[in-house]
Amino acid sequence: MRTVFKTSYDADIDLFKHGAQRNWYILLLVAALLLPFVLSEFALGEMTNLLIWSIACMGLMLLVGQTGQPSLGHAAFLAVGCYANVLLQERLGLPFILSFPLAGLIAGVAGALIARPMTRLHGVYLAIGTLALAILTDDLIVLATPLTNGVMGLFAPDIQIFGYGFNRYGNPIRLYLLILAITVAVVLVYRNIQRSPLGRSFAAIRDSEISAQAMGVNVARTKAIAFGISAGITGLAGALIGHYAGIFNNETFNVILSIQLLLAVVIGGLGTIHGAFFGAAVVALLPQAIAISRDLLGKVMGGGTIAIPGLEAAVFGAILIAFILFEPQGIYGRWFKIRTFFELFPFYRRDMFRRQKSYLKTERMR
Amino acid sequence: MDVLQLLVSGLANGCVYGLVAMGFVLIYKATEAVNFAQGDFMMLGAFICLGLTNPQFMGLPFWVSVPVAIAIMGVFGYALDLVVLRRMSGQSQIAVIILTIALGFVLRFVAGLIWGHEPISLASPIAGKDIRLGGVVLGMDEIMVIGVTLAMTIALYFYFNRTKLGVAMQASSQNQLAAYYMGIPVKRIQSLIWALAGMVAAVAGILFASKGSIDPSIGLLGIKSFAAAVIGGFGSLPGALLGGVIVGLIEPFASRYIAAGYAQIMPYLLLFVILIFRPHGILAQVHQKKV
Asked whether residue B78 carries a pLDDT value surpassing 60, the answer given is: yes
Beta bridge partners of A247: A155
Structure confidence by residue, pLDDT tens digits, B99-109: 888 898 888 88
Smallest Cα distance from A254 to chain B, Å? 13
CB of B23 closer than 8 Å to CB of B197:
yes
Beta strand spans in chain A (E) = 154-155, 159-161, 164-166, 247-248
Residue pLDDT, tens place only, B240-276: 888 888 888 888 888 888 777 777 788 888 888 888 7
Q: What's the pLDDT tens digit per position in A156-191?
A: 777 777 777 777 777 888 888 889 999 999 999 999
Distance from the Cα of residue B79 to its chain's centroid: 19
- Residue B273, pLDDT score: 83
Give yes or no for a contact between A127 and B94, defined as CB atoms under 8 angstroms apart.
yes
More confident residue, B188 or B90: B188
In one letter, which amino acid is A229? I
Q: What is the DSSP string of B9-48?
A: HHHHHHHHHHHHHHHHHHHHHHHS---TTHHHHHHHHHHH
H or E stretch at B133: strand B130-133
Facing residue for B286 by CB, picked from A311, A360, A366:
A366
Task: From B17, B27, B104, select the one nearest A124 (Cα to Cα).
Answer: B27
Q: Which of residues 44-63 of B touch A (CB under 8 A)?
A: none
Which of residues 244 through 283 in chain B touch A, CB cutoff 8 A?
261-262, 264-265, 268-269, 271-272, 275-276, 279
Closest-CA residue of chain B to A145 = B261
The size of the A-B interface in CB pairs under 8 A is 153
In this prediction, residue A365 carries a pLDDT of 52
**pLDDT digits over B8-29, tens only?**
888 888 888 888 888 888 888 7
Residue A269 backbone zone (phi > 0: left; psi -120 to 50: alpha; other: beta): left
Domain ranges within chain B, ordered by starting residue: 15-218
Which of B28, B87, B103 comes nearest A317 by C-beta?
B103
Instruction: Please tell me which residue, A251 or A224, carries the higher pLDDT value.
Output: A224
Q: What is the value of ipTM here, to two decimals? A: 0.80
- The answer to whether A139 faces chain B, any CB pair under 8 Å, is yes
Cα(B33)–Cα(B19) distance, integer angstroms: 18
- Tell me if A35 sits within 8 A of A176, measured CB to CB: yes
Domain map (residue ranges) of chain A: 15-255
Minimum distance, in Å, between the CA of residue A177 and any CA atom of chain B: 34
The whole-angstrom distance between A366's CA and the closest CA on chain B is: 7
pLDDT band at A105 (very low <50, low <70, confident <90, very high): very high
Report the chain A residue with the minimal C-alpha distance to residue B117: A309
First to last CA, chain A: 51
Contact with chain A for residue B285, Cβ under 8 A: yes
Mean pLDDT score across all residues of chain A: 83
Residue B8 CA to residue A225 CA, distance in Å, equals 46
pLDDT of B291 over the 50 cut? no
Query: What is the pTM for the complete model shown?
Result: 0.85
